[in-house]
Amino acid sequence: MIDLLLCTRRAMLASMRGRLYSRRIDLDDAKLGDYLIASMGSLADEHLRILFLDGSRHLIADECLQSGSLAHLALYPRVIFRRALELNAAAILLVHNHPSGNPHPSDEDIEATRRLADIGHALDIRLSGHIVVTANQTSRIIVDDTARRGTFSFTLKSPDTAADRRAKAELVLTNARITQRRRFLRRQLIGAECLFVEPAWDMLLDLFIHQCEGRVLHLYPMCVASGIPMSSALRLAQKLCEAGILRRQPDTFDGRRSIMTIEPEIMHRLSAYFAEGAE
């Protein structure tokens, strides 16, 4: 079951990436932001990802070319543009994460973007922009290519506002609730409930909704949502904790009970999943 959950998580990211190939890549695309947050927003080290684009701004390849320490990520133009030439890319989009959680580009980020834009201009490969990713938001360095003058101006696009984040959180929660209701309805309409039980996913779904609503869910009520015998559900909950998917901690108000939470990285990935829609 744990292997199934991990495979489901990988399949989710592959599905999100696959959708990018069928659409024009734009810095303000919410789907692109969701994918980047889900795939690299919670990484412990900095990584540089390059999206290689054709002349119509459609995705040719999505590759992680470099990784670095928390303090510094080296940018090697030769590696980046050699790969762009190999793929016959007309443009590239830089993406890197800030493990610190600060979404604002640093002075070094801006200077590196400026340097790469100049090199790209000389090679006739346009730098479309630079996205900085954290665990829950993104910010963009927008490149205005005034090629006739051979100069570049840069506009920093602020991270999502509080209103944007609230709207997205409400969409995520709404889709999760719809998914839960449809699963219950499916069992009721079709019958033979034992044939339609997916215990680990049902427990995760119930716990995810509780956390989004700011409510506490204890171990035993969470196990009830699985639809399987309590002893089996408890063993499954323990396996989910051992796999780093759930976290169990004692209730400070009642030592006999345990409070269950979803690990932050999994929470981010589930949020990205439900931002895509309901089942």
Tokens 């509080």 -> residue: 162
Query: What does the pLDDT read at residue 69?
Result: 53
| pLDDT > 70? residue 258 | yes
Give pLDDT tens digits for 115-152.
888 889 889 999 988 999 888 788 888 887 654 444 45
| pLDDT > 90? residue 53 | yes
Where b means 16+ CB within 10 Å and e means fewer, 194-220 reads eeeeebbbbbbbbbbbbbbeeeebbbe
* Poorest-pLDDT segment among 147-151, 175-179, 180-184, 211-215: 147-151
Give pLDDT tens digits for 70-115.
455 566 788 899 999 999 999 999 999 998 888 888 888 888 888 8
Query: Which strand ranges, in their side-by-side order, compose the sheet holding 246-251?
Result: 217-218, 254-262, 246-251
How does residue 1 score in pLDDT terms, banded at 50, 70 and 90? very low
Query: What does the pLDDT read at residue 34?
Result: 82
CB-based contacts of 232: which residues, under 8 Å, 6+ apart?
A: 199, 226
| pLDDT > 90? residue 7 | no
**219-240 average pLDDT score:** 88
Query: What does the pLDDT read at residue 178?
Result: 87
Is residue 79 packed enough to be buried (19+ CB in 10 Å), middle (13-18) or exposed (0-12)?
middle
* Poorest-pLDDT segment among 3-12, 100-109, 268-277: 3-12
More confident residue, 154 or 105: 105
How does residue 279 score in pLDDT terms, banded at 50, 70 and 90? low
Query: What does the pLDDT read at residue 149?
Result: 44
* Poorest-pLDDT segment among 44-48, 92-96, 112-116, 154-158: 154-158
**152-174 average pLDDT score:** 70
Query: What does the pLDDT read at residue 38?
Result: 82
- Top mean pLDDT of 31-40, 205-214, 269-278 is at 205-214
Q: What integer best gives the mean pLDDT of the chain?
A: 80
Q: What percent of the chain has pLDDT over 70?
A: 78
% helix / strand / coil in the chain, to the nearest 5? 50, 25, 30
Query: What does the pLDDT read at residue 247?
Result: 93
| pLDDT > 80? residue 6 | no
What residue ranges in 110-177 does DSSP mark as E strands?
126-133, 138-146, 151-157
Query: What does the pLDDT read at residue 156?
Result: 55
